[in-house]
A and B are shown apart, each in its own frame.
Chain A
Amino acid sequence: MSKNTVNIIIDGVEIEAQEGQTILQAADDAGVYIPRLCYLKGLIPGGHCRVCTVKVNGRPASSCTFPVSEGLVIENDTEELTTLRRTVVEMLFAEGNHVCPACEASGNCELQAMAYRLGMLAVTLPFLRKPRELDATHPDVFIDRDRCILCGRCARASEAEGKRVFGFEGRGINKRIAVDGEHGLKETDLKAADRAARACPTGCLRLKRIGWKVPVGQRQYDTTPIGSDIEQKQPVG
């Protein structure tokens, strides 16, 4: 065991992790999938969505922000945590206005795929039904806030590109993704080629005029559940 590695245990299996990694990153490297929505590889973790909640030495914590240390005992794939995550995902559905059959992201959407993976059959919570604003001003990118889960991936991606096109505004149920332009996205310096324009896990922030070019049945999560890419990975080391 080299100096900067530590050992952690996830669901009874010992895993070697690099010091400085988060639990989620270490699990990814070991081919163990921890569900997540606001985490996107290469961006600073946001810790917003709580879908990545695990139990660390018996206490709930978000794995995308929790650093590894020697001997951590982690629960991930348990009935209890799956139920909790499913509830979180259900809340995201109830908060927004999601009509999957009419949404172009269907089949490529991480939120939808997560709902399937976690076995969410229907939304049992009351829908907020709060209409949210659509921003169609940009020639190549749109924001359909009905489908926003406030994960902040767009904001972090933009910041990483040195642009700061997106940011949060308001609190509680009034919280929304805002843009750095008084009259909408067209006034920002967002370009279609930016990573921020492709960072969104849902059908909210999308490139225009794509729609249904990729046939249903051939979309990312049509055949394999979300997370299978990680689970198929050979453990490192």
Chain B
Amino acid sequence: MAKTAKNGKRKIVINPVTRVEGHGKVTIVMDENNNVEQARFHIIEFRGFERFVQGRFYWEAPVMVQRLCGICPVSHHLAGAKATDMIVGVDKIPVTAEKMRRLMHYGQTYQSHALHFFHLASPDLLFGFDAPVEKRNVIGVIEAHPEVAKKAVLMRKFGQEVIKATGGKKVHPTGAIPGGINKNLSLEERDALKKDADTMVEWAVEALELCKKITKGNLEFLLNFGSFESNHVSIVREDGCMDLYDGKLRAIDAQGKKIFDMIEPLEYADYLGEEVRPWSYMKFPHIRSLGKEKGWYRVGPLSRVNCCDFIDTELAEKARQEFMALTNGKPVHASMAYHWARVIELLHAAEKIRELLDDPDLQGTELVAQGTKREKGVAWIEAPRGTLFHHYEINTETDQITLANLIVSTTSNNEPMNRAVQVIADQHLKGKGESEITEGLLNHIEVGIRAYDPCLSCATHALGKMRLHVELVDAAGHLLDEKFRG
């Protein structure tokens, strides 16, 4: 299972079969001087994605792909639909369709971010990382802050109602179809949502205030915790504005300098490469011009706030400016800053929903556009966890998908999560000569990974207790310690 490499460090080949079901596995490798050499968060969840849809019809993709991943089905649904727009030869879907899809997407973002912030992040932030797991969970939040917990449930429910009104179902919508949408928003549906829209904005503001208060109260520690410099990638609108649903791709470096900008979906493979590594089934995406070693990048709320020039909703823009002031406008690199960025987006989504609900275009009746069939469709979307790419090729005679390639946000964030764990483990073990995985280290790794909100079953456990398997390996390849949680 493991081989010692020439340089004395140990290479570990993990056989996924030996992996504990539902546990996220982390390997920490120490060097000869007992410093943390490397950390790996093994992700095997995304195997076989592409195979699953090959041979199926292109119009099935938006519905089928969301079955592949239970964590953010709406994003897959919409990314799939956008790629099939291109396949049916539609470059611009009707305005009603686009606004319905946007509404669905903001609903998904809102419920996903609310869930993450309240259920998964707030226990860490409210009780401190070293609080016992028994307390540091959503039940603890419910006991200590019942009001907060109640709002969290209602926010989530609101997001789901938005998804249902636009997509037909709360969890697995089917509303987006190639070239458009299959329904508009009825006045009853609109009014039912509208009556809560202001409250949802208010509660998002409260979440932001709470997050800011906690973060500022412990600023130095949080900015330092699991922090490392990196590139960031996200979609932005053509004018540089944050856009979660559509736009062009931008990559910035650690200083905020643009690596590439205004890239079109069809060009994605020219700018991003995907490397296969022997120890993982997962592909490691990287920015081609920087190479495999240096080209890794982060995606998600933090990257989006870093990449965009501004946000087009008032409250979220104010929040963005305050956030960016932390680093005088340079990219923020702290892992824990993901939480703050996430609630800025929570607020942005709430504002967007409110704005859209007032838009009569949602009651329009032109729902689907038509075009001439094409062989290839590529699209992206900013899923709650980061940029999501869908690429399909079809046989235009049979309508079957011949090739599918998906880059999931968590795959982009795999290397960043490795780095975060490495930094955290190093901060924890440094100079202590410890060769033991303490409860504290386990807690800190959990908190660090959680900041990225990976779409893995181990990380989205309803009670917020991350199922982890951490192993510590020395330079000679001996297993020093191993701990399980959950």
B-contacting residues of A (Cβ < 8 Å)?
99, 101-102, 104, 134, 136-137, 139, 142, 208-218
Contact = CB atoms under 8 A, between A and B. Distances in A.
A136 B174 contact: no
B60 interface: yes
Given A136-B398, A216-B168, A102 B63 contact: yes
B67 A102 contact: yes
Contacts of A139: 397
A215 B397 CA distance: 26
A213 B182 contact: yes
Given A212-B177, A215-B182, 17 more contacts: A101-B63, A101-B172, A102-B63, A102-B67, A104-B59, A104-B63, A134-B55, A136-B57, A208-B57, A210-B59, A211-B57, A211-B60, A211-B178, A212-B62, A212-B175, A214-B182, A215-B174
A210 to B, nearest CB: 8
B439 to A, nearest CB: 41
B59 A209 contact: yes
B461 interface: no
B450 interface: no
A142 B183 CA distance: 25
B172 A211 contact: no
Contact of A216 (B57, B169, B178, B368): B169
A215 B67 contact: no
A213 B183 CA distance: 9
A139 B397 CA distance: 7
A62 B426 CA distance: 74
B174 A212 contact: yes
Given A211-B177, A214-B182, A215-B183, A101 B57 contact: no
A1 B123 CA distance: 79
B400 interface: yes
Contact of A215 (B175, B398, B399, B400): B175
B344 interface: no
A106 to B, nearest CB: 9
Contact of B67 (A101, A142, A212): A101
Nearest to B373: A209
A217 B175 CA distance: 11
B400 A212 contact: no
B63 A212 contact: yes
The residue in A134, A136, A216, A218 that gathers the most chain B C-beta atoms within 10 A of its C-beta is A216
B64 interface: yes
A214 B175 CA distance: 9
A211 B64 CA distance: 11
A212 B182 contact: yes
A90 to B, nearest CB: 23
Interface string B388-404: 00000000011110000
Contacts of A210: 59
A101 B398 CA distance: 23
Interface in B169-216: 169, 172, 174-175, 177-178, 182-183
- Interface residues of B, dominant DSSP: loop
Contacts of A104: 59-60, 63
Interface in B389-429: 397-400
Nearest to A209: B59
A136 B399 CA distance: 7
A136 B63 CA distance: 19
Given A101-B67, A102-B64, A216-B174, A211 B59 contact: yes
The 10 nearest A-B residue pairs measured at CB:
A216-B168, A211-B59, A136-B398, A215-B182, A215-B183, A212-B174, A102-B64, A216-B174, A215-B168, A217-B168
Contacts of B59: 104, 209-212
Contacts of A218: 183
A208 B59 CA distance: 9
A98 B183 CA distance: 26
Given A136-B57, A216-B168, A209 B399 contact: yes
The residue in B57, B183, B368 that gathers the most chain A C-beta atoms within 10 A of its C-beta is B57
Contacts of A99: 67
Contacts of A137: 398
A102 B59 CA distance: 11
Contacts of B175: 212, 215
A142 B56 CA distance: 11
Contacts of A217: 168
Contacts of B57: 136, 142, 208, 211
18 contacts: A99-B67, A101-B63, A102-B60, A102-B67, A136-B57, A136-B399, A136-B400, A137-B398, A209-B59, A211-B59, A212-B59, A212-B62, A212-B174, A212-B177, A212-B182, A213-B182, A214-B182, A218-B183
A137 B395 CA distance: 10
Contacts of B177: 211-213
Interface string B367-398: 01000000000000000000000000000011
A139 B395 CA distance: 11
Nearest to A140: B399
Interface string B153-178: 00000000000000011001011011
A134 B395 CA distance: 14
A139 B398 CA distance: 6
A218 to B, nearest CB: 8
A90 B95 CA distance: 44
